[in-house]
Structure 1
Amino acid sequence: MPGSRIALETGMHSPWVSRLLSKLEHEVIVAHARNVRLIGESRRKDDRFDARTLARLARIDPDLLGPVQHRSRKAQADLTVIRARAGLVRARTSLINTARGLTKSYGERLRGCSPRSLPPYCYLLREEKLQGKNLAHTAFGSSALQAGTDNRLHLRDL
């Protein structure tokens, strides 16, 4: 069976779908969704209508679709690692800011330090102010934060 010409819009799944269809020897055109004015500016927002429009444009003149070339699998994997690390850094920053905010409500303050030097201890509230509860375990659980017996907050280095 000869390969078909298939048009897709850019989206979350278009990279792997286009690679799979190309491997099956189909001609794949990935249309940049914002560059196809017939779809982007259409008042009729309907998947079937959009699919028909893509098919017609692919048949008449594929250049009208504003075709894009997706990143290679390796480049996509590298970018995924970068984005995952950025997400972890945002989460770590959020935990630090939450700990700082919670201590302020007790009139206390965590000693200033960078996230890298935070593991060597930022002071935390005394447990008696929390009625015997440890703030780090209460607020965050023990997976991301550990509170030592010396009332200091320890963040595992991400």
Structure 2
Amino acid sequence: MSNSMIGLFQHVDVLLDAADRCKKAGFTVEIISPVPLNHEIDHAFGERPNRVRYFTSFGAICGFFFGWFVAFVTAAIYVLPRSGRPILPFTPTLLIAYETTILFGVIWSLIGFFVLSRLPAIKKRPFHPRIAIDAFGLVVNGIREDRFPDAENILKQFGASEVKKVEECCC
């Protein structure tokens, strides 16, 4: 049984007011829009923290140590003594560590982007065909069976043109 509901709105300001009221009522909300609303959503709900930086930091640290490890192991396995220079040189090792730091940081940034964006979509997400044309959608998630009327009343109170359970809409 689905525990989500979707409401369609004609105007963004009404949608944001309804989303704020739903959040205050204890529901989790998701806004679906035909156009980007990042500024309006950030202004209404506060800016969300960007967690991609943790993936990037993890990748960069792993890349740094991987570069040191590869350079030192390669120098230790293929010993080439050169007129009194150290067998485990510092400068070339630092260059390799620098390059692998950047490489692993970029790769883990991409991985973090895909993970946090929930791409590729494994499960179907709520959608209504009108959202692609002329409406804004507000998906209310995490509704207990006894709270469906409360969520529906909030959406209708703010002027939702259509309110449906997620299983009833075109997902």
* Higher RCO (C-alpha under 8 Å, 6+ residues apart): 2
**Same fold at TM > 0.5:** no
More helix as a share of residues: 2
With the length of structure 2 as denominator, give the TM-score of the two structures. 0.26
